[in-house]
Structure 1
Amino acid sequence: MSSHQPTLFGGSKRLVYDEAIELTLQSMQAYGPGHDHWVFAFSGGKDSTATLTVIMHLIDVGRLAAPRSITVLYADTRMELPPLSISAALLLDRLRVRGVRCDVVMAPLDKRFLVYMLGRGVPPPNNNTFRWCTRQIKVDPMTEALQQRIDELDGTILMITGVRQGESAIRDGRIEMSCGKDGAECGQGWYQQVLPEAKGIRGRIATLAPLLHWRVCNVFDWLKVYAPMAEYGGWETRAVVDAYGGDEAQEINARTGCNGCPLASRDLGLETVIRVPVWSHLSPLLRLKPLYRELRLPRHRLKKTGLVRPVVGSEWNEEAGEDLPVFGEPEIATAKNKQRMGPLTFEARLMALDRVLAIQAECNEAAIRLGCPTIDLLNAEEEARIRELIAAKTWPNGWEGDEPTADTPMDTVYADGSVQPIFL
Structure 2
Amino acid sequence: MKIQLNFFESQRTTFNEQIDLTVQSLKAYGDQYDHWVFAWSGGKDSTTLVTLIIYLIESGQIQAPKRITVLFADTRLEIPPLFFSAMQIKRQLEQRGIEVHTVMAEMDDRFMVYLLGRGVPPPSNTFRWCTPQIKVEPMIKKLHEIHRETGNKFLLLTGVRQGESAVRDGRIAMSCGKDGAECGQGWFQVTAPESICDKLAPLLHWRVCSIWDWLKIFAPMNRHGSWNTQLLADVYGGEEAEEINARTGCIGCPLASKDKALEVVVKIPEYLYLQPLLRLKPIYRELRNPSRRKRKTDWQYKKDGTLSKNQNRMGPITMESRAWALQEILAIQNDINSKAPSESQKVYLINSEEEARIRELWRLNTWPDGWDGTEKRADEPFIQRHSDGSITPELFLTESDLSV
The 5-angstrom pairing of residues 253-264 of structure 1 reads: 253-264=245-256
* 1:231-288 deviation line (CA, Å, top 9, x unaligned): 2211111221022102222222212111111111222222232233332322211111
**Other-structure match for 2:323:** 350
Query: How far has the Cα of 1:126 moved from its partner?
Result: 0.9
C-alpha separation in 2, matches of 1:94 and 1:260? 29
Query: How far has the Cα of 1:75 moved from its partner?
Result: 1.5
**Other-structure match for 2:144:** 147
Query: How far has the Cα of 1:337 moved from its partner?
Result: 2.6
- 2:35 maps to a residue whose letter is H
Query: How far has the Cα of 1:31 moved from its partner?
Result: 1.8
Give % identity.
52
**Other-structure match for 1:289:** 281
Aligned 8 A contact 2:383 2:391 in 1: no
C-alpha separation in 1, matches of 2:156 and 2:171? 17
Q: Secondary structure at the match of 1:28?
A: helix
* 1:369-404 deviation line (CA, Å, top 9, x unaligned): 7x8712221111111111110121111111111111
**Given the two structures, how large is their TM-score scaled by the length of structure 2?**
0.84
Picking from 404, 407, 414, the partner of 2:376 is 404
Picking from 121, 124, 129, the partner of 1:123 is 121
**Other-structure match for 1:327:** none
Query: Number of aligned pairs?
Result: 372
- 1:345 maps to a residue whose letter is T
* Gapped regions of structure 2 (runs ≥ 5): 1-11, 174-188, 399-404
Q: Secondary structure at the match of 1:77?
A: coil
**Other-structure match for 2:224:** 232
Q: For the structure 1 residues 419 and 22, does the alpha-carbon distance in structure 2 shift closer, same or farther, using more than 3 Å as the test?
A: closer
Picking from 302, 315, 319, the partner of 2:294 is 302
Q: For the structure 1 residues 98 and 352, does the alpha-carbon distance in structure 2 shift closer, same or farther, using more than 3 Å as the test?
A: same
Q: For the structure 1 residues 167 and 125, does the alpha-carbon distance in structure 2 shift closer, same or farther, using more than 3 Å as the test?
A: farther
Deviates more, 1:289-298 or 1:234-243: 234-243
Q: For the structure 1 residues 98 and 170, does the alpha-carbon distance in structure 2 shift closer, same or farther, using more than 3 Å as the test?
A: closer
Aligned 8 A contact 1:46 1:219 in 2: yes
- 1:360 maps to a residue whose letter is Q
Deviates more, 1:296-305 or 1:268-277: 268-277
**Other-structure match for 2:37:** 39
* Gapped regions of structure 1 (runs ≥ 5): 1-5, 10-17, 177-194, 313-330
Query: How far has the Cα of 1:196 moved from its partner?
Result: 5.8
Q: For the structure 1 residues 304 and 332, does the alpha-carbon distance in structure 2 shift closer, same or farther, using more than 3 Å as the test?
A: farther
Query: How far has the Cα of 1:352 moved from its partner?
Result: 0.4
The 5-angstrom pairing of residues 231-380 of structure 1 reads: 231-308=223-300, 310-311=302-303, 334=308, 336-368=309-341, 373-380=345-352
**Other-structure match for 2:191:** 197
**Other-structure match for 2:133:** 136
C-alpha separation in 1, matches of 2:276 and 2:353? 23
CA RMSD of aligned residues (A): 2.9
C-alpha separation in 1, matches of 2:269 and 2:240? 13
Q: For the structure 1 residues 55 and 281, does the alpha-carbon distance in structure 2 shift closer, same or farther, using more than 3 Å as the test?
A: same
Q: For the structure 1 residues 127 and 168, does the alpha-carbon distance in structure 2 shift closer, same or farther, using more than 3 Å as the test?
A: farther
The 5-angstrom pairing of residues 167-178 of structure 1 reads: 173-175=170-172
C-alpha separation in 2, matches of 1:252 and 1:413? 46
- 1:82 maps to a residue whose letter is P
Aligned 8 A contact 1:42 1:75 in 2: yes
Q: Secondary structure at the match of 2:21?
A: helix
**Other-structure match for 2:179:** none
- 1:339 maps to a residue whose letter is N
C-alpha separation in 1, matches of 2:259 and 2:139? 25
C-alpha separation in 2, matches of 1:25 and 1:154? 28
Aligned 8 A contact 2:35 2:65 in 1: yes
C-alpha separation in 2, matches of 1:265 and 1:358? 23
Is 1:420 aligned to residue 393 of structure 2? yes
- 2:88 maps to a residue whose letter is L
C-alpha separation in 2, matches of 1:171 and 1:393? 53
**Given the two structures, how large is their TM-score scaled by the length of structure 1?**
0.80
**Other-structure match for 2:211:** 219
C-alpha separation in 2, matches of 1:256 and 1:280? 18
Q: Secondary structure at the match of 2:366?
A: coil
**Other-structure match for 2:87:** 89
Query: How far has the Cα of 1:101 moved from its partner?
Result: 1.7
